[in-house]
Structure 1
Amino acid sequence: MTNETRDPQLVKRILLGDPLSSEESAEQLLPKRRALPIFASDALSSVAYAPQELVMILLIGGLTFLSFTPIVAVAVVVLLIVVVLSYRQLIKAYPSGGGDYEVARKNLGEIPGVVVASALLVDYVLTVAVSVASGVDNIISAIPGLDPARVELAVGFVVLIIIVNLRGVREASFAFAIPTYIFIGSVGVMIVTGLIRTFLGDAPVASSADFAVHAEDLSQAAVILLILRAFSSGCSALTGVEAVANGVPAFRVPKVRNAQATLVLMGSIAICLFAGLTALALISGVHYAEDPCALIGFDCATPQPSLMAQVASATFGGGSILFFVVQAATACVLLLAANTAFNGFPLLGAVLARDGYGPKALNTRGDRLVFSNGMILLGIAAIAVLIVFQAKLTTLIQLYIIGVFVSFSLGQIGMVRHWRRMLRSASTSASNRRGARLGLLINSAGATLTVLVLLIVTITKFTHGAYLVFFAIPILAFLMMGVKRYYRDVDHEIAIDDTTRFGSTGDVALVLVNKLQKPVVKALDYAVAAKHGKTVAVHVAVEGDEAAQLQQEWADHLMPVPLIILQSPYRSYAEPIAQFIAQYREKHGPSVVTVYLPQYIVGHWWETFLHNRRARRVASQLMLVHGVTITLVPWLLDSSEIIYGRRSRPVPGQERAGRPVVANGRRAHRPAGPPDAEA
């Protein structure tokens, strides 16, 4: 078996590919044709479930309420147009990738900025959960026998998407481009085909068209709330619009122009698909109920076909190739819609980490030049949500879009303040003033509409589960503020000032010795080679017999440094050493103390439970003693060959007299001492 096959890094290389150097980062930037499937898959896929949610809510009031569908759909389209135009202005003004967070923080203050960031992070997690759940729902519509494995399928798809994204933005764009464009093309063909059939007098008929509905008795106020609730569910078509603004740094130059073009193209396609699919649903008579048992004549023991499945079946025929193409493309793009979050979440996390509101690890790029820690964190959170809610789309959709409209609203309000400040500035040129007036008009309309929609969404979805989001956002914002305070306090604590003094007057090395073995000799060798002012070996005596035996071996092997025995009647190790250091400093002054500890390096995970426990424990305790530094001296056991592909010591019989000892893959000098000293 070769070293490569034993290398655990091999699996990582197979899954993720070879590492990329920092110089290759420019090659990972995206042209528009690849940026569209990466950043627009969420917004484009929303058309697969937004019309379904709209129809489902209206059907609660009965079949007559479906007559409100065109009005509600037009309202959603108008809102989508305004939001796309508003974000086009935002990209131009703030191209750094902070999006709504940066706009709110710079124009409204720290707390609104953190609230926006929290809302976006929550929404990204729910984007993954809803997208994957919707994709699985469409798969089950085509293959009902998979329904018992709904959660397992959802979790498996999240893991797969994580792996693909960890391979890098460029490779992810290759993997996701084809399904996205197939979805756009197949749904577009379906809409055109359905409309042509309708024009020719052969309108498609959905499988649920003949089902009646058990309608609820609604008061006038309840009717208004139901229509508003349908509108809020239809507004899920707007999710993902903000991702382009957050992903501007990933575009090729000219970044702003390419991002704006991608945003407009995404919005145009989403509007056409949403309007066309909603129209076909009405033409074919799709009846999709929140409770399948409310459909009179439907066997609610079987999964309810999705709206997309019913329209495709009515247009092309249930067993046709085009039906399965539409279903497969829809399932793929719904699953890949989660990819938008896997680009937006890590980028936003990196911005937050740079600003001090998130752990610094979120700003670390992995082997493939992506913010891998953010991707993994997002995947874990999404899997947890899917498991808790059993990957049920109708439940998860109630939590959705709250966060995105919080960020929409505060971001647009921030843009209004941005343009007003620019207009008040005397240094703004005439051409910039014209642009600022147009931006102020567009973003004012965006702010008004998004705030209104946020109120509608809150009122209509709060009791259906959205209250959980309103708990999650402030909790996350509070934690982010706490992280900011922590980093601020640490920076203040470690900042250098005029009172900093360098008063150390000595240099002593302590080599901790348990038994006289090769790892200890190597640690002694390192300490002697470092040429400290004084080097001593220290043994903490828990058992008297062991201390006496060690002293005898020390003398027999003519070890070149003195051995000091510290008694430990209470069987502790770090405390006697700390007391010895304190006494030494009282006698010799404030010396710098370096403690050398041998430590085994092993190749199997289970070996870590059999070695190194004491060394790590002692090291962690001595780190609390001022003026003490810890040096861990590695000794590679033979099992470490699994990791490093080399033996830690020469094979017996290969070491010749007069040749240097090979230790841990390198030549190691014997400790200084008498010529006949043995290692």
Structure 2
Amino acid sequence: MIYVGAILLVVVAGLIRREPAVDVSHQVSGLHTVGVLLLLKAFANGCASLTGVEAIANAVPSFRKPRVRRAQRAEVALGALLAVMLLGIAALIEKFAVAPADGVTVLAQVTRASLGDGPLFYVVQFATVVLLALAANTAFGGLPVLAELLARDNNLPHFFALRADRQAGMVRHWVGERPAGWRWRAGLNGFGALLTFVAAIVVTGSKFGEGGWLIVVALPLMVAGMEWVHRSYARIGARLELGRTPSPPRPRRSLVVVPVHAVTRLTRDALSAALSLGDRVVAVNVTHPEDERQARAFVEDWDRWDPGVELVQLFAAHRRLDEPLLTYLAEVPEPHVFVLIAEVEPEHAWQRMLQNQRGAVLARALRRRTDAVVCRMRFRVS
């Protein structure tokens, strides 16, 4: 609002003033004949103002209800402000005979001619700098909304959607839905899409040597990446039979495997949870052949405790915890297997470095190489 007020002040003051407050004729230099290329470049630079219009279109879901009506009013207000400021500045350029000059913007010349070199001149310049900084942030502000829309259509990973079609998309909408008066709406949106296409061609051509080639290269790669993401989601959806009603669920005989290495309260709580999960519970202890005395002592402790749960001892020649368990799970008859991994949740975050991370390693291997349901049970020390 400060920028809009400043520009309107410049326009009003300039239209009222009969003579420029400061002579700007000495700043006129290097005038050239206006040709087609110059007009196209000016058109390309002017298209930057359209980013505000597109930002409002992308942000329709962010408006309060009624969203569409509020967004339409915002678009009309923005268009009116742009028209008033553009026509006003153009009139002042004609009135004060302002022309391009090296090192001084046309807006600065118009402001100096209207308001002089006083404090108001610097207020307008500062407001312009702030506006340009905010305009550069438009892409960052609009990207989350655009990413949400793309993610809904399975063109980006779905975590981008944790947050109104436009132009050519609106044409498809009107043609597909065909409500009352859809023809003129489709024609209007189609005309807008055509203008956008022409603007894109002009901007690309005029800016190609100034870095526009990067967009020409990057955009097809981005589209190809989105197509790959879309196909991936389509395959997952087909595998999950999305859109189809599945058959009723049926209970399946299940096995709960609990890795254990000592008779402790943690082992007791893990077995108690396992007994409520499945039909059969098996405690699995993995040990090394050289640790025979330790393995025998563990079995004696287990028999003395007698928890009423079957104990299976597996021997790992290379001291690997995951390989023996994976081999065992491949041979069990139950079609549905749970693996319950009991872990200690430390009282303080820094104490995590004291843990051996065996549970994380085992869980990662099980999820990657088996269809077992991995449950990690936390035992809180505090």
Shorter-chain TM-score: which interval?
0.7 to 0.9
TM-score where L is the length of structure 2 = 0.81
Structure 1 residues 601 and 204, CA gap change in structure 2 (3 angstroms):
farther
Instruction: Please give the alpha-carbon distance, in whole angstroms, between the structure 1 residues aligned to 2:173 and 2:233.
Output: 29
Structure 1 residues 465 and 308, CA gap change in structure 2 (3 angstroms):
same
Equivalence for 1:210:
26
Equivalence for 1:524:
271
Is 1:246–1:348's contact at 8 Å kept on the other side of the alignment?
yes
Equivalence for 1:565:
313
Aligned counterparts, 1:362-511, within 5 A? 362-364=160-162, 371=163, 411=167, 432=181, 436-437=183-184, 439=185, 442-443=188-189, 445-495=191-241, 506-511=253-258
Is 2:22–2:117's contact at 8 Å kept on the other side of the alignment?
no
Aligned counterparts, 1:226-625, within 5 A? 226-280=38-92, 283=96, 285=98, 287=100, 295=102, 308-309=107-108, 311-313=110-112, 315-318=114-117, 320=119, 322-337=120-135, 340-341=138-139, 344-364=142-162, 371=163, 411=167, 432=181, 436-437=183-184, 439=185, 442-443=188-189, 445-495=191-241, 506-528=253-275, 530=276, 532-542=278-288, 544=291, 545-555=293-303, 557=305, 559-583=307-331, 585=332, 589-602=333-346, 607-611=351-355, 613-624=357-368
Is 1:317–1:323's contact at 8 Å kept on the other side of the alignment?
yes
Instruction: Please give the alpha-carbon distance, in whole angstroms, between the structure 2 residues aligned to 1:547 and 1:305.
Output: 85
Is 1:183 the counterpart of 2:12 in the alignment? no
Cα deviation for residue 488 of structure 1 reads: 0.9
- Relative contact order (C-alpha < 8 Å, sep 6+): which is higher? 1
Q: Is the partner of 2:373 in helix, strand or coil?
A: strand
Is 2:22–2:116's contact at 8 Å kept on the other side of the alignment?
no
Structure 1 residues 213 and 236, CA gap change in structure 2 (3 angstroms):
same
Q: Which amino acid letter does the alignment assign opposite residue 227 of structure 2?
A: M
Instruction: Give CA deviations for 1:532-563 in whole Å, capped at 9, x if unaligned.
Output: 33323211113615434433443455555343
Instruction: Give CA deviations for 1:405-424 in whole Å, capped at 9, x if unaligned.
Output: xx98xx35x666777889xx
Q: Is the partner of 2:344 in helix, strand or coil?
A: strand
Q: Which moved more, 1:476-485 or 1:345-354?
A: 345-354
Q: Is the partner of 1:532 in helix, strand or coil?
A: coil
Equivalence for 1:177:
none
Structure 1 residues 338 and 214, CA gap change in structure 2 (3 angstroms):
closer
Structure 1 residues 611 and 310, CA gap change in structure 2 (3 angstroms):
farther
Q: Which amino acid letter does the alignment assign opposite residue 7 of structure 2?
A: V
Is 1:508–1:534's contact at 8 Å kept on the other side of the alignment?
yes
Structure 1 residues 593 and 416, CA gap change in structure 2 (3 angstroms):
closer
Instruction: Give CA deviations for 1:427-464 in whole Å, capped at 9, x if unaligned.
Output: x76xx3xx734x46645654554443333222211122
Cα deviation for residue 576 of structure 1 reads: 0.6
Structure 1 residues 276 and 606, CA gap change in structure 2 (3 angstroms):
farther
Equivalence for 1:630:
374
Instruction: Please give the alpha-carbon distance, in whole angstroms, between the structure 2 residues aligned to 1:625 and 1:501.
Output: 28
Is 1:536–1:564's contact at 8 Å kept on the other side of the alignment?
yes
Q: Which has the larger radius of gyration?
A: 2
Cα deviation for residue 232 of structure 1 reads: 1.4
Structure 1 residues 266 and 499, CA gap change in structure 2 (3 angstroms):
closer
Instruction: Please give the alpha-carbon distance, in whole angstroms, between the structure 1 residues aligned to 2:188 and 2:146.
Output: 25
Q: Which amino acid letter does the alignment assign opposite residue 5 of structure 2?
A: G
Q: Which amino acid letter does the alignment assign opposite residue 78 of structure 2?
A: M
Is 1:511–1:527's contact at 8 Å kept on the other side of the alignment?
yes
Structure 1 residues 306 and 615, CA gap change in structure 2 (3 angstroms):
farther
Cα deviation for residue 565 of structure 1 reads: 1.8
Instruction: Give CA deviations for 1:491-522 in whole Å, capped at 9, x if unaligned.
Output: 11122889989898633322112344443333
Q: Is the partner of 1:590 in helix, strand or coil?
A: coil
Instruction: Please give the alpha-carbon distance, in whole angstroms, between the structure 1 residues aligned to 2:195 and 2:21.
Output: 36
Instruction: Please give the alpha-carbon distance, in whole angstroms, between the structure 2 residues aligned to 1:498 and 1:192.
Output: 67
Is 1:522–1:633's contact at 8 Å kept on the other side of the alignment?
no
Cα deviation for residue 336 of structure 1 reads: 3.4
Cα deviation for residue 267 of structure 1 reads: 0.5
Instruction: Give CA deviations for 1:93-131 in whole Å, capped at 9, x if unaligned.
Output: xxxxxxxxxxxxxxxxxxxxxxxxxxxxxxxxxxxxxxx
Q: Which amino acid letter does the alignment assign opposite residue 331 of structure 1?
A: V
Q: Which amino acid letter does the alignment assign opposite residue 485 of structure 1?
A: R
Instruction: Please give the alpha-carbon distance, in whole angstroms, between the structure 2 residues aligned to 1:185 and 1:568.
Output: 77
RMSD over aligned Cα, in angstroms? 3.8
Q: Which amino acid letter does the alignment assign opposite residue 26 of structure 2?
A: D
Is 1:510–1:594's contact at 8 Å kept on the other side of the alignment?
yes
Instruction: Please give the alpha-carbon distance, in whole angstroms, between the structure 1 residues aligned to 2:225 and 2:79.
Output: 34
Instruction: Please give the alpha-carbon distance, in whole angstroms, between the structure 2 residues aligned to 1:241 and 1:210.
Output: 37
TM-score where L is the length of structure 1 = 0.48
Q: Which amino acid letter does the alignment assign opposite residue 575 of structure 1?
A: E
Cα deviation for residue 573 of structure 1 reads: 1.4
Aligned counterparts, 1:23-42, within 5 A? none
Structure 1 residues 501 and 564, CA gap change in structure 2 (3 angstroms):
farther
Cα deviation for residue 263 of structure 1 reads: 0.9
Equivalence for 2:13:
193
Q: How many residues align?
A: 377
Q: Is the partner of 1:623 in helix, strand or coil?
A: helix
Is 1:419–1:440's contact at 8 Å kept on the other side of the alignment?
yes
Structure 1 residues 279 and 521, CA gap change in structure 2 (3 angstroms):
farther
Is 2:322–2:365's contact at 8 Å kept on the other side of the alignment?
yes
Is 2:28–2:99's contact at 8 Å kept on the other side of the alignment?
no
Q: Is the partner of 2:330 in helix, strand or coil?
A: helix
Is 1:596–1:632's contact at 8 Å kept on the other side of the alignment?
yes
Is 1:205–1:284's contact at 8 Å kept on the other side of the alignment?
no
Percent identity over paired residues: 31
Q: Which amino acid letter does the alignment assign opposite residue 622 of structure 1?
A: L
Structure 1 residues 606 and 287, CA gap change in structure 2 (3 angstroms):
farther
Is 2:2–2:127's contact at 8 Å kept on the other side of the alignment?
yes
Cα deviation for residue 597 of structure 1 reads: 0.7
Cα deviation for residue 612 of structure 1 reads: 5.9
- For structure 2, the 5+ residue unaligned runs are none
Instruction: Please give the alpha-carbon distance, in whole angstroms, between the structure 1 residues aligned to 2:117 and 2:245.
Output: 80
Instruction: Please give the alpha-carbon distance, in whole angstroms, between the structure 2 residues aligned to 1:559 and 1:333.
Output: 72
Is 1:513–1:539's contact at 8 Å kept on the other side of the alignment?
yes
Is 1:591–1:627's contact at 8 Å kept on the other side of the alignment?
no
Instruction: Please give the alpha-carbon distance, in whole angstroms, between the structure 1 residues aligned to 2:23 and 2:369.
Output: 79
Cα deviation for residue 567 of structure 1 reads: 0.3
